[in-house]
Every structure is written in structure tokens, then in C-alpha cells.
A and B are shown apart, each in its own frame.
Chain A
Amino acid sequence: ETGVTQTPRHLVMGMTNKKSLKCEQHLGHNAMYWYKQSAKKPLELMFVYNFKEQTENNSVPSRFSPECPNSSHLFLHLHTLQPEDSALYLCASSQDPGWAEKLFFGSGTQLSVL
């Protein structure tokens, strides 16, 4: 398997649930990202990890908690979400976290919060 794989593809959760999104990259990249994509809005960068270390946290609410156990795996732990958190959550990776780097995206997790 190659590329960036995200699971699950779809997730419906209540506001009191706890769930986790998983991302795995098979490209040997050093940087991994979480993005939020809402309809008709620009992609929002949430978190950046470089060599397992978090380098960016763009004022994301604490109900989103990332985890990067190694450079190939990235998780996004979710708890007590709000309906406005419903969106497509995209994981991406790049060789290094530079601005000119080519981003490789997963297919995303479509999240619905009821």
C-alpha cells in the first residue's frame, strides 16, 4: 500500500462521544499535517508535526488533540465536539515541512457531529 491512508472514511458522532481519526503514510516523509476542510471555505491548517514533534498548533480548540507516535502515524483524538466541527478532516504529509514542499493528502474523514 502506498500514499497516505486515513480511517475511518466517514464518522458520525454525538457531542458527548470520544473518537479518534487515524492517518498513516507509506512515503517515508518527515512531516505530517491535519487540515480541516469546510464547504466553500479555504483549507484550515490545524497541526503540523516534524519528526514526531509538534511544530504548529493554529489556535485549535482543546477538544481536538493530536498524537504522533512516529513519523508514519498521526492521530486526531476528538471529544465533546460541537456541530460546527462537522467537516472533512484531511491528513497530509511532505518530505519536510517547508513551504515549497509537495503535500500528499489522504482521502479524508467526513465527520458529522450531531
Chain B
Amino acid sequence: TQLLEQSPQFLSIQEGENLTVYCNSSSVFSSLQWYRQEPGEGPVLLVTVVTGGEVKKLKRLTFQFGDARKDSSLHITAAQPGDTGLYLCAGAWDSNYQLIWGAGTKLIIKP
């Protein structure tokens, strides 16, 4: 059983559409990070959220941390082919500094 469940596992949509991917857990996290990994590369940090209910925007990407700090979502507006990649979420607990990783959502944006 994974501590962090990401859904969907795979998503393929047309350029210009909107989408939301989710990162859910039954555990409370102190903070949660989102990374994007492009083919042939390592993950790159996009954002860190630390406060329940927090919303952060990065151009067309909107990240939200759930009020109870158990879940998070990533919404992309008007998706572009450059958004293609594997989106990973990773949560941290106060008692253990090791990050807990989700298995990722593989996103393909078709031109």
C-alpha cells in the first residue's frame, strides 16, 4: 500500500485543455512538494506547500494543499506540449525527514 496515491496514473489530452492531477494520503504531512520529470532527465522541483489550504500559482500551474494537509492537487490551465512529463508529489513528516514519494502521473499533451 502506497502512502501517497497519485491519480490518474496516466493522462493524455490535447493542447489547450485544462487538467487536474491529485496526490492523496491518509497521513498528515508537514509539507508537500511537486516535481516534474521530463523524459531522460531527473525530477525538477516546481513548488513546496506547507500550510493547510495554501494555494500557489506558477504561471498556468495552480497547486493546492488540502486543509487537513493530507492531499494536494495540481491544476494546469491551457496545457501545452511543454507540460509533458511525469509529475511527482512528495510529502514530509515532522518526525522523519525522509520524503514519501508518490508513483507519479504521466502526462502527455498532444499538439
Contacts between chains A and B (CB distance < 8 A), count? 53
Q: How many residues of B contact A (CB 8 A)?
A: 27
Q: How large is the interface on A (under 10, 10 to 19, 20 to 34, 35 or more residues)?
A: 20 to 34
B101 to A43, Cβ gap below 8 A? yes
- Closest residue of B by beta carbon distance from A6: B42
B42 to A92, Cβ gap below 8 A? yes
**Cβ-defined partner of A99 (8 Å) among B44, B88, B93:** B93
- Closest residue of B by beta carbon distance from A90: B42
Contacts of A43 in B (CB 8 A): 43, 88, 90, 101
Residues in B20-75 with C-beta less than 8 Å from chain A:
30-31, 33, 40-45, 48, 50
- Closest residue of A by beta carbon distance from B6: A42
B42 to A100, Cβ gap below 8 A? no
Which residues of B approach A to under 8 Å, CB–CB? 2, 4, 9, 30-31, 33, 40-45, 48, 50, 88, 90, 92-93, 96-104
A-B contact pairs, 21 of them (CB 8 A): A4-B42, A40-B9, A40-B103, A40-B104, A41-B103, A42-B101, A43-B101, A45-B98, A45-B99, A56-B98, A90-B42, A90-B43, A97-B97, A98-B97, A99-B30, A99-B99, A100-B48, A102-B33, A103-B45, A108-B41, A108-B42
Extra contacts, 6 of them, besides A42-B103, A102-B48 (Cβ < 8 A), are A43-B43, A97-B97, A99-B30, A99-B93, A99-B99, A100-B48
Which residues of A approach B to under 8 Å, CB–CB? 4, 40-43, 45, 56, 90, 92, 97-100, 102-108
